[in-house]
Chain A
Amino acid sequence: MNDVTRDISVLLRSVEAQLNSVVLGKPREIRLALVCLLAGGHLLLEDLPGVGKTTLAQALAATFDLQFGRVQFTSDLLPADLIGVSIFDPGQRRFDFHAGPIFTQLLLADEINRGTPKLQSALLEAMAEQQVTVDGTSHRLPDPFVVIATQNPLEQSGTFPLPESQLDRFMCSLRLGYPDERAEKALLGARERRTLIGELKPLLDAHGLLRLREAAQALHLSAAGIDYAYALIAATRSERRVRIGLSPRAGIALLRAARAHALVAGRGHVLPEDLQALFVAIARHRLVLNADANGDGGSVARELLAQVAIP
């Protein structure tokens, strides 16, 4: 471990500490969200309303001093409402592009599965390309551009489930779940979250985040680590309950995220433990199970993780 990684590690420790002071009792999930951010991926939060999804997104934005925008997806929201629209300016006699709320560094797309497929695909295209195209003109989105989308797990009326190909655009998916007893009591006794978030000091800026991303991707990944990642991916493809296993893109996402995880852990190289920490978050929303299989992507991924030996 050299000095740079040590400094980064110290910095990230304090980032984690700050996030944990706002979102209580979820250190693992916070670390995964942080890893996703550092790996340059987008994050999907699947959970019931009211467990702190928004708080987490806001705390991340405040800590990294990112421009924060939030869009509540509804079935009558149009792509133009999200992306922006060109409006004719009679004075100048030309069309002016009025940027939509998507032009922000950290976008919280709330209840993404309430939006229409058209809206969803507009967002997902923007996530993949990091640019939007309106009337033939491309507009670059800010850098970094991070989407944290939430979706309610229950099949509710008026929802449009995201197709698998679009889910693949999210690097990680997380479930926050209820906090444990101690954390929840602390939460109930403490001050309003919003106030707390307002008081957070930025520990880094957008530029710093981009530097950290570069540092993460420069970490060493040995052939043995790739072997293990491959073994995990291959296991999802031969598992009987799984109809569609992990794609090569998912494999790349796994390795990117593993590097970021190693960075957070303060290591100069990727260990099998890094892959293990991320595998479920990477695989949960990507695995398509057979109709008669019990459980969900997450439980299957956990079982595979326990079975596949480290080569």
Chain B
Amino acid sequence: MRSPVLDPRQFDWTLAAFTATLAAHLLWLPPWFAAFLAGLLVARWLQRRVYARAWPVWIKLPLVGVVLTLVVFEFGNPFARQAGTAALIGLCTLKLIESERRRDGLLIMTVTLFLVSVQFLFNQGIGITLYMLLPTLLVFLALNEIAAPPGTRGGLASQIGSLGRELLLLLAVVLPLTLFLFVSVPRLSEPLWGTRENQWEARTGLSDTMSPGSITELLADDTPVMRVRFPDGPPARSSMYWRGPVLWRFDGTTWSRAYLGNPQMREGRVDGPQDGAADDLRYEVTAEPSDRRWMLTLDFVTGFPQGANRSLDGSLVRERPISSVYRFTARSHPDAPVPVERFASTQRRFGLELPPGLNPRSLRLAQSWRRELGDDPRALVERALRHIREGGFGYSLSPPPLVGAHRMDEFLFETRLGFCEHYAAAFVVLMRGAGVPARVVTGYLGGSYNRIGAYWVVRNSDAHAWAEVLVDGRGWVRVDPTSAIAPERIDQSGAFAGGDLGRDWEWLRSLRERVDAVQAWWNNHLVRFDHLHQQDFFSGLGIDTGDWKQLGVFIAGGLAGIGLLTAALFWLQRRRMPGDPALALYRQFLRRLRRQGLQPGASEGANDFGRRAAAALPALAQPIAEVVGAYEAARYGRIGDAGLPRLRTALAAFRNASNRKG
């Protein structure tokens, strides 16, 4: 038998639920792919309204090819998270195009529910989590609509009403189970996904190169990078330099890393865990997923956890990319220079390297200082900072573009307008020209204090670049040339980067702090409930997670308890439902007959059913007639509940008779 036709209202619900789910995936789906799918859905919707016939195969079949080709073309490996999900979404869209029957609707809704949960592989923020309630509700409404027989469907309000009651009951059953599983199912210390894909483009954030404009992009982006708590009080704002990648090499346009800082290079790197000195500044970082490996810490980091290592150039790098919210504790020795522990000559050589033949005017200027001041790095640094301070330079986030081959010359002698990235780069070029080893450090500066949650938020808009020069006997000393031109950029976080809204906007600022505090709570308590938290939780209960037997007993016990609770709930529900003792007794009678394969139709009355049952079981005709008569008298007759004893007697007689027969 073919499944019944999906009527327009059922189709519309199905489409609405799927579209709402698709909308959630827009956060990561490439826009053109999403637009393509949306176009298909709109076409399908219009076609259902206007033209009753199904789409012909010669359109549908090539579409499958097109969708799969697009997915492979965009994502490459079709078995990875993004490609797999995109393919599923695409195929589900196509399924919607050929869905004409209720069975198809049920299938699509089931897959959509799966897509709702898959969404959490991409985004686990509090906003999107709340939003996901909408598609979930829509899926249930659509399922309700598809499953309900035609006569029993009311308007939207009654739909939600009837579904609401059922959902509450199901939630009462499912929530304890979900919470229990959330807490107790053993967590992997790392998610299984999130390592295979090319994620360097997936999120904005620090990159490991710096070319003109790469930081401006960040400055306009307000998303939090991490949140930091200082249990023993924060350091001065002017020393909150969150260290990211160190850039050594300059090709005239782009700065990039050198193998010296490569975390794969075992020599010279320091592996975690490290305790650091007891009097070093302690802080706790909750990093947002960045799909990068940089663990942003203050200089100079001395204490860091397992799985992290400090590279030779002083940055902290994680073994795996940070693909979900990651929390760690670190210690730093504030403002200490980065020591030159190994490869001193290589570091020196790299710190002096300049692209040959470029920026001659800058180099001439630097060499003139060198001739004037000798080889004292401090004096040279002072001279360069003075040059920046007094040379007519200005701070601007939208400087004129540098286009020629000699970009540093152009900046230092012509445009003289720029921001941290220009100043850091120009400063390092000048230092190198003057014979002082120098390098660019990128990262974040400062952060804003959240008064509600008592923590600091560092946002992408706090991105910054500064310089380090090598001073013999001390190591790499931080110099921030931007502070020479715009000291307020250093003192007030994000003063130019859209972060600070001014005093008039105090309420908005406070709202922002509130929202961010909620977000932080969400991250710390729900998203980042990892194996460590789980361990804490279990050891609080006196259970050793290392002991599988104990854990197994706990999980099995918990599941059994929840099972009993659920069973009790259903039992109560079932007991409560009849509300009518005669009906309850009659249901016992029906259960008994069901074993004989006899079941009343939805609208079959006791009288009709009794006659049918008697015809099917002639041996029991008499007791059946008696039960039916007594039930009708008790439930519908004037005698009412006073007829119950007769019904009980009749039921007992029926049982006896059927036992004898059986």
Of the 9-residue stretches A69-77, A188-196, A248-256, A265-273, which lies at the interface with chain B? A265-273
A304 vs B150: C-alpha distance in the bound complex, in angstroms?
A: 9
Number of A-B contacts (CB under 8 A): 70
- A12: Cβ under 8 A from any B Cβ: no
Interface string of B580-610 (1 = CB under 8 A from A): 1001000000000000000001111111100
Q: Which residue of A lies closest to B602 (CB)?
A: A309
Please, which residues of chain B bring their CB within 8 A of the CB of A224?
580, 583, 635-636
User: Smallest CB–CB gap between B583 and chain A, Å?
Assistant: 8
Q: Which residue of A lies closest to B151 (CB)?
A: A307
- B345: Cβ under 8 A from any A Cβ: no
Please, which residues of chain A bring their CB within 8 A of the CB of B632?
269, 271
Contact between chains at B636 and A310 (CB < 8 Å): no
Q: Which residue of B lies closest to A235 (CB)?
A: B151
Interface string of A278-304 (1 = CB under 8 A from B): 000000000000000000000000011
Contact between chains at B151 and A303 (CB < 8 Å): yes
- B640: Cβ under 8 A from any A Cβ: yes
Contact between chains at B633 and A239 (CB < 8 Å): no
- B525: Cβ under 8 A from any A Cβ: no
Contact between chains at B636 and A225 (CB < 8 Å): yes
- B153: Cβ under 8 A from any A Cβ: yes
Select A310's contact among B154, B155, B603, B638, beta carbons within 8 Å. B603
Please, which residues of chain A bring their CB within 8 A of the CB of B659?
none
- A92: Cβ under 8 A from any B Cβ: no
Interface string of B130-166 (1 = CB under 8 A from A): 0000000000000000000111111100100000000
Contact between chains at B606 and A272 (CB < 8 Å): yes
- A14: Cβ under 8 A from any B Cβ: no
Interface string of A222-249 (1 = CB under 8 A from B): 1011000000000100111000000000
Contact between chains at B150 and A240 (CB < 8 Å): yes
Known: A239-B150, A239-B151. A271 touches B605 (CB 8 A): yes
Chain B interface residue count, CB cutoff 8 Å, equals 26
- A20: Cβ under 8 A from any B Cβ: no
Please, which residues of chain B bring their CB within 8 A of the CB of A269?
632-633, 636-638
Select B603's contact among A220, A221, A238, A308, beta carbons within 8 Å. A308
Known: A220-B638, A269-B632. A238 touches B605 (CB 8 A): no
Please, which residues of chain A bring their CB within 8 A of the CB of B605?
271-273, 276, 310
User: Smallest CB–CB gap between B614 and chain A, Å?
Assistant: 15
Q: Which residue of A lies closest to B634 (CB)?
A: A222
A87 vs B154: C-alpha distance in the bound complex, in angstroms?
A: 57
Select B154's contact among A238, A276, A306, beta carbons within 8 Å. A238
Please, which residues of chain A bring their CB within 8 A of the CB of B635?
222, 224
A242 vs B636: C-alpha distance in the bound complex, in angstroms?
A: 30
Contact between chains at B607 and A273 (CB < 8 Å): yes
A305 vs B149: C-alpha distance in the bound complex, in angstroms?
A: 13
Contact between chains at B154 and A222 (CB < 8 Å): no
Q: Which residue of B lies closest to A241 (CB)?
A: B150
Please, which residues of chain B bring their CB within 8 A of the CB of A238?
151-155, 158
Contact between chains at A306 and B602 (CB < 8 Å): yes
Contact between chains at A308 and B151 (CB < 8 Å): yes
Q: Output the residue of B601, B632, B636, B638 with the most chain A CB within 10 A.
A: B636
Contact between chains at A222 and B636 (CB < 8 Å): yes
Please, which residues of chain B bring their CB within 8 A of the CB of A235?
151-152
Q: Which residue of A lies closest to B7 (CB)?
A: A240
Contact between chains at A271 and B636 (CB < 8 Å): yes
Contact between chains at A307 and B637 (CB < 8 Å): no
Please, which residues of chain B bring their CB within 8 A of the CB of A222?
635-637, 640
A268 vs B643: C-alpha distance in the bound complex, in angstroms?
A: 14
User: Smallest CB–CB gap between A37 and chain B, Å?
Assistant: 23
Interface string of B605-640 (1 = CB under 8 A from A): 111100000000000000000000000110111101
A276 vs B637: C-alpha distance in the bound complex, in angstroms?
A: 17
Contact between chains at B158 and A273 (CB < 8 Å): no
Please, which residues of chain B bring their CB within 8 A of the CB of A309?
602-603
Interface string of A113-143 (1 = CB under 8 A from B): 0000000000000000000000000000000
A305 vs B604: C-alpha distance in the bound complex, in angstroms?
A: 10
Please, which residues of chain B bring their CB within 8 A of the CB of A240?
9, 150, 153
User: Smallest CB–CB gap between A86 and chain B, Å?
Assistant: 50
Known: A271-B605, A272-B605, A273-B605. A307 touches B636 (CB 8 A): no
A271 vs B9: C-alpha distance in the bound complex, in angstroms?
A: 36
A276 vs B155: C-alpha distance in the bound complex, in angstroms?
A: 26
User: Smallest CB–CB gap between B157 and chain A, Å?
Assistant: 11
Contact between chains at A305 and B603 (CB < 8 Å): yes
User: Smallest CB–CB gap between A157 and chain B, Å?
Assistant: 34
User: Smallest CB–CB gap between B238 and chain A, Å?
Assistant: 71
Select A273's contact among B149, B154, B608, B640, beta carbons within 8 Å. B608
Q: B residues 49-85 with Cβ under 8 Å of A? A: none
A271 vs B606: C-alpha distance in the bound complex, in angstroms?
A: 9
Q: B residues 1-41 with Cβ under 8 Å of A? A: 9
Please, which residues of chain A bring their CB within 8 A of the CB of B601?
306
A305 vs B151: C-alpha distance in the bound complex, in angstroms?
A: 10
Known: A271-B632, A272-B606. A304 touches B151 (CB 8 A): yes
Question: Can you list 22 A-B contacts (CB < 8 A)?
Answer: A221-B636, A224-B635, A235-B151, A238-B155, A239-B151, A240-B153, A268-B638, A269-B633, A269-B636, A271-B605, A271-B607, A272-B636, A273-B605, A276-B605, A304-B151, A306-B601, A306-B602, A307-B151, A307-B602, A308-B151, A309-B603, A310-B605
Which 5 residue pairs across A and B have the least CB separation, nearest first? A220-B638, A272-B605, A269-B637, A307-B151, A238-B154
Given contacts A220-B637, A240-B9, 18 further A-B contacts (CB under 8 A): A220-B638, A225-B636, A235-B151, A238-B153, A238-B154, A240-B150, A240-B153, A268-B638, A269-B636, A271-B605, A271-B632, A271-B636, A272-B605, A273-B608, A307-B150, A307-B602, A308-B151, A309-B603
